[in-house]
Amino acid sequence: MNKSEKIPLLKVDSYSRYYRKDDSLKRKPPVEAALQQFGIAQRCLLKNHIAPHRLDFYLVFLVTEGEGIHSFGLHEHYVKKNTMCFIGPHTIQSWQSEIEEHKGYFCTFSDEFFNVGREDKHFLNTLPLFGIEGNGVLHLNAQQADYYLALFNMMKQESENCSRYSANIIRGHLNVLLNKAHSEFQQHACQAGTPNDPRLGLVKKFTSLFLNDINALSSNQTIHLKKIGDYAREIGVSQNHLNDTIKTVTGKSAGQLIKNQLIKRATLCLKYSTKSISEIAYSLGYDDPSYFARFYKRQTGRSPSEYR
């Protein structure tokens, strides 16, 4: 893609025109305002080519027939029957297929819609399924695909029913889908402790805090990261305890987790942004572009200009 081209940010009320084969099939506004930040449609309506873009909401899709290349984050994924993908807000993505027949569902929702009534407002931010690197892909067996297809079907039926209770019912189905997918996504990963281990909760809190600061970049703001000690105080633990816990659970220090995210964001900016390398450095919070260049090369083996 030409770097001079601007990558559009699609809103919940405009993405349909960008995705669908036929503009006349636009989804009608729901009767209940509570459902205006949720949408579900069949993949047979999807265009064969969708140019690079970003969404300001979450996207989950399940393929039951058809195939193609879906690029999101830093990766290209070959998706086919029984593939389910998860894409978070502001992740750059595109779609290309030579196949005319497609089946399945794609579902969109905002964090405001999902978080209604939830105490844990950071749940979506901590899910590795929606990571900026673009690894949120599940290759399902037939039984698993049927399970998720049933959830999509129930959400579709409920959105068409559109009663005063529909939003809560859909949120319940969506919560089941995400938690089940999260458990399967993590199934083969090396885990430290059990799901109830308080150390995992501490890591999630820390990750949510620094990702919230890093996400300022998505709104064209400069990143202002706090010191590790400041994050520790915000969580209510000592800096040593935070570092030791994160090292035990992830094998990396707290600082390394932040550096890894900065490298991922820097790589996305170098790949898609029209900004100069110096401008990218400043937006990432570096006062000295030459220091940023050395840091990037140390972490990746290539300088920013070599990557670009």
Tens digits of residue pLDDT in 42-82: 888 888 899 888 888 999 999 999 999 998 877 889 999 99
pLDDT confidence tier of residue 117, bands split at 50, 70 and 90: confident
3 close to 272: Cβ distance less than 8 angstroms: yes
Percent of the chain with pLDDT over 70: 89
Same domain, 57 and 157: yes
Mean per-residue pLDDT of the chain = 84
* pLDDT for the residue numbered 132: 66
Which of 185, 208, 242 is the last residue in one of the domains?
Answer: 185
DSSP string, 109-173: E-HHHHHTT-S-TTHHHH-GGG-TT---EEE--HHHHHHHHHHHHHHHHHHHH--TTHHHHHHHH
In degrees and rounded to multiples of 5, residue 181 shows phi and psi of: -65, -40
Q: pLDDT by residue (tens digit) across 128-159? A: 898 766 789 999 999 999 999 999 999 999 99
CATH number of 153's domain: 2.60.120.280
Residue 172 and residue 210 in one domain: no
What's residue 119's pLDDT? 83
Q: How many domains does the chain have?
A: 2
pLDDT of 192: 36
Whether the Cβ atoms of residue 301 and residue 170 lie closer than 8 Å to each other: no
Would you say residue 3 lies in a domain? no
Percent of the chain with pLDDT over 90: 34
- pLDDT tens digits, residue range 259-275? 888 888 888 888 878 88
Answer whether residue 16 is part of any domain.
Answer: yes
pLDDT of 191 higher than 50: no
- Is the model's pLDDT at 4 over the cut of 90? no
The more confident residue out of 218 and 43 is 43
Indicate the burial class of 26 (C-beta count within 10 angstroms; 0-12, 13-18, 19 or more). exposed
| pLDDT at residue number 33 | 61
In a domain, 111, yes or no: yes
| 47: phi then psi, degrees, rounded to nearest 5 | -65, 155
- Tokens 């196949």 — which residue? 99
pLDDT band at 30 (very low <50, low <70, confident <90, very high): very low
Is 193 domain-assigned? no
Domain membership of residue 207 as a residue range:
198-307
d(CA 84, CA 86): 7
